[in-house]
Amino acid sequence: MTHASVTLRQPSQITFGLGCAVPAACAFVRTTGSRRVFLLTSPSVAQLAATIAAELRSGSVAVDVVTGVPPEPTTACAERILAGARAFAPDLVLAVGGGSVLDVAKIIAALHDRTEPISAFYGINVLVGRRTALVCVPTTAGTGSEVSPNALFLDEVTVAKKAIISPALVPDAALIDPSLMVSLPPALTATTGIDALAHCLETYANLAAHPTVDLHSLEGVRLIGANLAIAVADGSNLAARSAVALGSLYGGLGLGPVNTTGVHALAYPLGGEFHLAHGISIALMLPHVVRHNLSSLPSRHTALAEALGAPSVEELPDRLEQLIAACGIPMGLSAHGIPREALPRIADAGLGVTRLLKNNPREITRADALRIYEAAF
Ligand SMILES: [Fe+2]
């Protein structure tokens, strides 16, 4: 068996465990000798951020705490936060929050000591180098941003999701503490968890799939499939929270070397023009794109069906629909305010995400895309 070469870039430190966040974050700052920490966070975890800030300040570290990154952040919003970071001039950026907080923090660490606008770095490997240390503490189990080279923003000029992808955006440390996810509401647990499931599934059923990534991806599908509905129903179930967080980490590890496929490509326009949350967009498209892909890479789809407990490979899309329903996510583009007449426009936008469609197991033509969106409507 031969495979194309693959490059795995990961944080030099990945810490995973209940209660690890505060001690590991403070230890990382101490051991790197950082003196000025820009701490980006969200109101829902302000208390945790305050605890970290207080401990760092007791060691004479200057800490600038900034809260209030909105979900699905725009480039303009990230520019405003970046302006504040430029004034503070940190030597370490610490992100404590969901995927939006992490993505903005990654860009701040890379760009606060440069003058170009964020939009100058859209694309793959346009951004080169980062001089400021970057530590990410995720409070949702979903994006995998804490270990990936990706940051995504809504560009309000083009009304499209834009990706900045660069090895410079792989954090130096990812500190994953499932106990931080206990207070995450059921709806957010569900949608972020389905996003993580999609990362695992898409990096496995992928034309660029690689054995070095397969191990994590398939196990991530199994972990999330068996535990997500439990975590949604009982957020305090630490075993289920830990399993989903581990699955999310595994999905994130595949984003750099392999990345996602048609599910993410066709989901992005729903976030761009219609501002649907990323995880909801993914849930709406996941079973339908998998149904289209099923005839390609048959042994991989069979393995995915087994990992999710589907009785046969043909029933894999149904099993995904059951799981999404068990997590309480209402299906149907129409239920989320998308008008039928927008589907041709959405299809054109989805087909433009060629960086992901090139990985899809089966070609998606414009007619296919329209059929998939109709099925998802
Ligand atoms: Fe995603």
pLDDT, tens only, 142-154 = 999 999 999 999 9
CA of 251 to the centre of ligand 1 (A): 9
pLDDT value for 68: 84
Q: According to the model, what pLDDT value does residue 1 have? A: 55
Q: How far is the CA of 294 from the centre of ligand 1 (A)?
A: 20
Ligand 1 centroid to residue 33 C-alpha, Å: 34
Q: What are the tens digits of pLDDT across the range 298-313?
A: 999 999 999 999 999 9
Distance CA 323, CA 333 (A): 18
Alpha helices in 294-376 (DSSP H): 298-307, 316-326, 343-351, 354-357, 366-376
CA of 264 to the centre of ligand 1 (A): 7
Cα 259 to ligand 1 centre (Å): 10
Alpha-carbon gap, residue 134 to 110, rounded angstroms: 9
> Smallest Cα–Cα separation from 260: which of 225, 226, 288, 289?
289
Q: Check residue 16 and give its pLDDT.
A: 98
C-alpha of residue 144 to centroid of ligand 1, in Å: 8
Could you give the CA distance from residue 284 to residue 267 in angstroms, rounded to a whole number? 8
CA nearest 151: which of 139, 132, 167? Answer: 167
Residue 252 CA to ligand 1 centre (angstroms): 9
pLDDT digits over 226-277, tens only?
Answer: 999 999 999 999 999 999 999 999 999 999 999 999 999 999 999 988 989 9
In this structure, what token pair is assigned to residue 19? Answer: 């209660």
Q: Is the pLDDT of residue 156 over 90?
A: no
Angle at 44 between CA 195 and CA 62, to 5 degrees: 110
- pLDDT tens per residue across span 179-209: 999 999 999 999 999 999 999 999 999 999 9
Assessment of whether the complete model's pTM goes beyond 0.85: yes
**221 CA → ligand 1 middle, Å:** 14
- What does the block give as tokens for 332? 């149907």
CB within 8 Å of 244: residues ≥ 6 apart: 141, 178, 181, 189, 193, 196, 223, 224, 227, 228, 231
- Rounded to whole angstroms, the Cα distance separating 246 from 240 reads 10
**Residue 276, φ and ψ in degrees, nearest 5:** -65, 145
pLDDT in tens, 13-38: 999 999 999 999 999 999 999 999 99
CB 266 within 8 A of CB 372: yes
CA 186 to ligand 1 center in whole angstroms = 18
Q: What is the mean pLDDT of residues 41-52?
A: 94
* CATH numbers and ranges of domains, the chain: 13-180 (3.40.50.1970), 183-376 (1.20.1090.10)
Residue 3 confidence (pLDDT) above 90: no
